[in-house]
Amino acid sequence: MSSKVPYVKHNNGTQIQSIGLGTYTSLGGDCERATLHAIDAGYRHIDTAYFYENENEVGAAVQRKIAEGVIKREDIHITTKLWCHFHEPERVEYACRKTLQNFGLQYVDLYLMHWPYSYVYRGDNEMMPTDAKGEVELNDIDYLDTWRAMEKLVELGLTKSIGVSNFNSEQLTRLLANCKIKPIHNQIECHPALNQKKLIALCKKNDIVVTAYCPLGRPNPAEKTPNYIYDAKVQAIGDKYKKSTAQVVLRYLIEIGTIPLPKSSNPKRIEENFKIFDFQLDSEDHAVLDSYHTGERLIPMTHAIKSKNYPFNIEF
């Protein structure tokens, strides 16, 4: 098998590399170093967000690699996201332009709505506005109104494509029935403990690509969690292909129909996570990995449970 990284085609004709670098919690120069290293290692898909507060680091790394002649701007796909306090339609273009200023770029490749629910706006940097009781201040803006404002960003050339993140089946179906521009992605939490097979099937049917965040379930070596990274059964699969358990899990996520976004700032791991295109799992391997599914989320965002747009009150 060729170890060349395949690309996935979107419903609007654009394409994307079938693995990406996740950057959440990469700060203080770590994100810039990780992005530089990832580009050198062959990554052409970087995922960030306004909420991560590292768009400037991703932008600096990309510009450096363009200046060095390693890549051209059109070679690399940059995804970022609209945060919940910018959902009012009149704030959307402002938010996107602010993001572009952070990157130092003319456009992004994909702009996602980070969550279907929204917060009260108390300032650009008040990303989790709280009331006197310390509860997050929710707003009830309809995500369809936010989406219409995002569609204009494509017309303005500020982003090539738009998509969503953390949308459930009902929200996605409602959006598809009411949009001019179809979302190209739904980015969701996905790993063996939450394999999202039903939501992936719905997205596939509607020609929407699924990207998987927390694909390795945030490994904790001290506690040996999650079990699918540290279990002997998965280690045995890894041994069979001369791969690590992380590589086995990432391969599984690709084979069930997602683009995984493993986050790392460790150069060795960044490279390792990328080397998953020279082997294939068999049905027995899949049965082992399927057995870890519990449906439990790492990111339940329970502070937003009172929002009518909270996405996790239904099965998928």
State the CATH number of the domain containing residue 66. 3.20.20.100
What pLDDT, on a 0 to 100 scale, did the predictor assign at position 2?
42
Residue 75 lies in a domain: yes
Residue 35 lies in a domain: yes
- In-domain check, residue 78: yes
- The HSE-up count of residue 289 (CA atoms within 13 Å, CB side) is 33
Element (H, E) at 77: strand 77-82
Please check whether residue 135 lies inside any domain of the structure.
yes
How many Å apart are CA 136 and CA 155, to the nearest integer? 33
Q: How far apart are CA 268 and CA 19, in angstroms?
A: 16
Q: Is residue 5 part of a domain?
A: no
Name the domain count of the chain.
1
Q: Is the pTM above the cut of 0.75? A: yes
- Is 242 among the domain residues? yes
pLDDT the model gives residue 256: 98
Of residues 170, 123, 124, 174, the one with CA closest to residue 146: 174
Active site residue 52: yes
What pLDDT tens digit does each residue of the chain (316 aa) get?
Answer: 345 899 999 999 999 999 999 999 877 889 999 999 999 999 999 999 999 999 999 999 999 999 999 999 999 999 999 999 999 999 999 999 999 999 999 999 999 999 999 999 999 999 999 999 999 999 999 999 999 999 999 999 999 999 999 999 999 999 999 999 999 999 999 999 999 999 999 999 999 999 999 999 999 999 999 999 999 999 999 999 999 999 999 999 999 999 999 999 999 999 999 999 999 999 999 999 999 999 999 999 999 999 999 999 999 9
Segments forming the whole domain that contains residue 272: 15-297
CA distance 19 to 222: 27
- Residues placed in the known binding site for substrate: 114
Asked, for residue 305, whether it belongs to a domain, the answer is no
In a domain? residue 100:
yes
| Marked catalytic residue, from 24, 43, 52, 111 | 52
Establish whether the linkage from the previous residue to 192 is cis, with ω within 30° of 0: no
From 142, 133, 134, 135, select the one nearest 113 (Cα to Cα): 142
